[in-house]
Amino acid sequence: MTVSGPFDSLRIAQSGLQTYKTWIDATADNISNVNTTRRTSEAAYQARFVVAEAIPTAQGGGVRVAAAQFGDAAGRLVSDPTNPLADANGMVKKPDMDLSDQMTALIVAQRAYQANVTVFERARDAYQRALEIGK
């Protein structure tokens, strides 16, 4: 049995907006922490990744955030003997993530978010025009 209604396109686009907003927020957090430095005895900043899943059509369709996954806490060791957090060997721990990968993910998420905004606006306009027919 499929659940359907007159405003499905609005609801489905809205679910995409929520999911991509979460992805944008997670990626922005990763970008702001790409250079976070920690002691070698501490866990490195862990990149956050959003896992999305489709909502079954029988439940109305759309998409939702299923989980968040985290990168490797081991990070990568970097030589920075002038850093106040450096160990006796002059090493510090940085996140094991690449800024260009994060920027690419941010661009993809922003474009997908904008696509959902466009779908939402077009559906809203169509529904408004349909309401005007009865006037």
pLDDT tens digits, one per residue of 66-118: 999 999 999 999 999 999 999 999 999 999 999 999 999 999 999 999 999 99
| Domain presence at residue 127 | yes
**Band (126; pLDDT cuts 50, 70, 90):** confident
The DSSP 8-state label assigned to residue 57 in this structure reads: G
Parallel/antiparallel/unpaired status of strands 91-94 and 63-70: unpaired
Q: What would the two tokens of residue 69 be?
A: 């996954």
The whole-angstrom separation of Cα 117 and Cα 75 is 36
Strand partners, 93: 38, 77
The predicted-structure confidence for 1-42, as pLDDT tens digits, reads as follows: 455 666 788 889 999 999 999 999 999 999 999 999 999 999
pTM: 0.85
| Residue 36 in domain | yes
94 found inside a domain:
yes
In a domain, 1, yes or no: no
Per the structure, the count of domains in the chain is 1
- Give the per-residue pLDDT at 94: 96
Range of the domain at 106: 8-133
Task: Tell me what pLDDT residue 8 has.
Answer: 84
